[in-house]
Structure 1
Amino acid sequence: MMERGYLVSGRYQIIDTLGEGGMANVYLAEDTFLHRQVAVKVLRMDLQHDQATIRRFQREAKATCELSHPNIVSVYDVGSDDGMQYIVMEYVKGEDLKAFIEQKFPLPLSEVLDMMDQILSAVQLAHSRGIIHRDLKPQNILVTPNGQVKIADFGIAVALNDQSATQTNSLLGSVHYISPEQARGGMATPRSDIYALGIILYELLTGKVPFAGDSAVTIALKHFHEEIPSMRALNDQIPQPLENVVLKATAKDPDQRYQSAHAMAQDLKTSLDIDRANEPKFVATSVDQDLAATKVLTDLPAATATSELATLQQDEAATPKPTASATAKAKKKRKWLPWVIAGAVVLVGLVIGLIILFGKHDVTVPDLAGMSQSEATSSLADHDLKVGELVYENSATIAKDLVIRSIPGKKSSVKADSTVKLVLSQGAKTYQVRDYHDLEYSEIKEKLTKAGFTVKRKNKSSSSIAAGRIIKQSITAGKKVVAKKSTITLTVSTGEPTFKLRDLSGYSKKNVQDYADDVGLNVTFVEEYSSTVESGVVIGTDPAKDTIVSSGATVTVKMSAGTDPTSVSSSSSSKNDSVKTIDKVIPITYLANNSDSSSTGSTTDDSSSSSSVAQNKITIYIGDENHNIETLYRTMMISTNTNITLSFTVKNGESAQYRILRDGELYASESVTQ
């Protein structure tokens, strides 16, 4: 035992004792480097010189280190302090699932399903790495105060891969959760863990294990001979589909159980669905119970066999007594019965011993990941194994023609001369990029994202491609790439180019024309007399400065003709022929639509940006002294309700007119008079 305050390896200060086990003691400690509480598992002093135990202890740490999962207790450090082997693990506050059930039962079905989903997720990861727990039970599952579950103690899983540990004549793990094949000395498989998970689910739903007895043998025999007791008889609120999950997981024949923890999780998720309410009860196909029973009796230790013989003798005593002559013969036979039984026990032991001595020994499947086929073949031969079937899968991490994994997985215990299936990489899955020009960005983005691409967007105005459609792509059409490793940038049209009209006041006619040529505007020049602006200089524009316009729009520029040379009287005498300018303010209502548009030239990553505001295209025609109603006056883009000012040049007594279209449809039309 370690004293409080002891500093393990100069870092982990012992605070308290958490528990004592057959192989190790567990302490609560403070990590003085990272200032956090941890659990330190220390190999017992009487085992510190047992090399087989030390190897088992170290392999437990290695196995758990390979399993990074939120529902598996993490291992932080492994080391030795003055000859003491230790493992530093995550300290999980809370209690084990056994105590949790005893305190909180009955549990809501939704909570049961959530806890099982966490457990199954963790077990699925372990199985995918070739690690079988072999001792799943509530005592090895911890529950945090917020309801998170974490599986602990992968020591047995590692011990079974150690050649020093034998499976024959051993009842591994806790008998209440052990699968029939494990109990009779068979090799554990992922489906053995599935059986234990079914028993755990039964206990979560009923508050007790399905089988009880005075001895481990009695309980083990019940796992062979008896059906799982009806849960619905104990609680009719348990729906039949949920009971079926337990029945399928605990089928006597491993082939009739779920083939993976993932498959069990998927079935469990829908077990409360209304459309499964009338599901019939699951009934497994019967197995050869006599054969199973024989195997149990022959595989049990001598003490257990004696107990079973006693049970057989009690059954014999309970039978009706025979006649006098039969009794006499029976007495004569009973003198020989002990010798017959003893001989049978010796013979069975001899047969088992010969099988163990001369039969094929167990070997461990090596880690073949990343090897070539020839390297894997050589490694398997070194372990008395052979290459079996070859299958191919895509892999983004393992190079082509190298081994992804083996079946059975690494560290699995199998018989010598067994064949091992190799899963070889055929390289990363490639995706052929197509031509997305002039296609809707939103549709292509969704398709490429599902394929695994990182999609980025660059906005650009275009007078030929409609807003929201793709102008160009960064990866050329026809090229094959690995989607999950590729980023594609799509340049998307925001519609016709728009910009603010510059203040042209004070410009000369040439300056105005140069500006118009640069930005793509059409210009109409008109002259007006001005007593304040010198001749040949801009008085103002229509539309006014800072108005949002697009390339191709027409702007009317008013140039000063200088001071009006005519007299006031002359002006009065020709009043009927005078020309006037009329300004009219027209409100235009913005109409929201689904066009995909955003600011010109910006580049965004669509995984984090929001959609830009759509715009309306406004087209204006005017008819007055200087404009023809059939000729385009100007266009503009709006994204909010906007007021525009139109200036009309009309003679006294005459009228002008205008026509406005919004997104190609007539919005307003009117005649304007003085």
Structure 2
Amino acid sequence: MMEKGYLLDKRYLLIRPIGEGGMANVYLAHDQKNDQDVAVKILHMDLQNDPNTKKRFQREASASSKLNHPNIVKVYNIGEDAGMSYIVMEYVTGMDLKHYIDQNFPIPYRKVIDIMKQILSAVQAAHDHDIIHRDLKPQNIMIDKNDHIKIADFGIAVALHDNSLTQTNTLLGSVHYLSPEQAKGSMATKQSDIYALGIILYEMLTGKVPFEGESAVSIAIKHFQDEIPSVQALDPRIPQPLENVVLHATAKDPHDRYKSAAEMAVDLSTSLDKKRANEPKFVPNSNSDLDETKVIQIPKNPDLADKVVPNKHEEQLKADKKWWTFLKKRRFWMAFGLALLVFILAVGFIIGTTKKNVEIPDLTGMSETQAKSVLTDNHLKIGDISHQYDNDVQKDRVIRSYPKKNMVVKEQSKVNLLISQGPKKIRIGNYVGQNYTQIRKKLMKLGFTVRKNETSSTKYAAGQIMNQDVPEGKKVIPQETIITLTVSSGRAFFNLRDLTNYTQKSVQDYANEKGLVLNITSQYSDTVEKGLVISQTPAAGTRLSKGSSLNVVISLGEKNKAPEQVSFNKTITIPFNPKTATQVNTADIANPNDNGVTASSSSSSASASTSTSSSTTTTPVHENHVTIFIQDETHNISDVYRQMVITQTTNVTLTFTVKGNESAYYKVVRDGDVILTDEVKPS
């Protein structure tokens, strides 16, 4: 056990132990990075030195992290600290289903069904991803105060698969829910999970498991030899359809069980319906051959001979019924003869069926053909063939066998093989616009090699991915793929130049080059020559980027005695730009007249005269919005001088007032863009 206060991987502060299993210890911990409580599962120390177990532990946990379902405990992180493999999971408040049953039994049938449907939904989601739990039991199912279910340890139990049948202490917690095929050492399938679900339903209905024993082995034997006890015998109120769900899920032969958790959920949801009240008891279609060995008992009383029938010789004893009747007249000789006959038959049966023990050879890395040949040479048969993606074992080669290598079995036993499909291909997603750090972590966890190419951008924020060299949708093997991500470093910054004594034109050229928004004002200066920059904001050396504002003050020269004010006009042409124009529907929009007054202010009578036609006919037109700024004795360049709407190229006359021979300035903005700016003087 780890000590309280240990900081795992410099991030997870262990608070207290909250669970202990055959494979790992579980602790409540605090994630200091994300400031949240989590559950941390740490692999037992005696398993840390087994590289295969650690590898399976991490691989299965990685597979579980891909499951996203409201009834499955989320896996946040997988790692290793000082040689200790750990998994970080969602911390669920509440109790496990085992304690819930103990505290709340008897549970109403409707609530049992509601809880089971949540469990079945989660298992179906895992099976859809080809993830088999292998160790479903109430201890792995959490339930909160609102009866919401969360299942933990999806796929992780397989890490102990090769060891579980020999570790009776750790197996005992799971053997009550072990399928017959797992109890015999065969590979777990989705139907094995279905069997465990049936046992869990049995326990919720009866308050106990169907089989008990002094050891894990004795319980395991009952799973493949004994029939599941009737739930109706323990509670006659249980409807037959509900008992049938238990019987269907726990059939000895996997082929007789539900084909999926979803199918079981559908059957369970209607098990209380009145229309199913007269449903007959479920009977499997096939006869299981799991009970291979039976003990033949010799009756002590000849009168009881016809009541005790050895399982393997029933037909023979029936054929000798007349002989038994004859022997009943002579009890002593009948007892002696019966004992002798049974003894001879039993010895003959044992001699005829006894097979030699053989050891399972190591088939790892062999092709299916090679494995079959080796099995034949060792007087064994090839069994079921399953396939699985594997990053380490070459495609079409054996990953492992069931039973595993070096196990001792009888001659002609079947050996199941797990064949590699090679590394699993991953479909590339679209990562543009996403955070580089998160995507890199995700891709590296899958096995990709990730390279970074950084460049500035005005479109993407710093750290966002701008481009990827492997296209979206392409399927690749992560371990063989290098993906280069172009990442934004943010806007390109530069140091603002010292613009003191620049002319207005030079300042405008600089602003255009750097993409700055320029604002110009003027004032008198006794030290700076007229027409040159007096000051600037921001100051020289400030780091700016494209789109920043730049304000400069242009010198008007020395301020002498005030000369007489002079007014003069300047006619400018404002070009119409259809590309930035806005479409409107109106029946009466005239063009501005030559003196710069818009139709909306000078043509009211014309508008009124055509109001009748405007109400029935609209003509789509396009218009530019124009704002004019001027700088003279009575106006400031930062204040709006005039706003107008044009629908075609328009002449506008501007009136300026200056002192003496001073200059005035104007600026024209069309649809948000500066299109004209100039200095003017009286002629």
TM-score (norm 1): 0.49
TM-score (norm 2): 0.48
- The answer to which structure, 1 or 2, has the higher relative contact order (CA under 8 A, 6+ apart) is 1
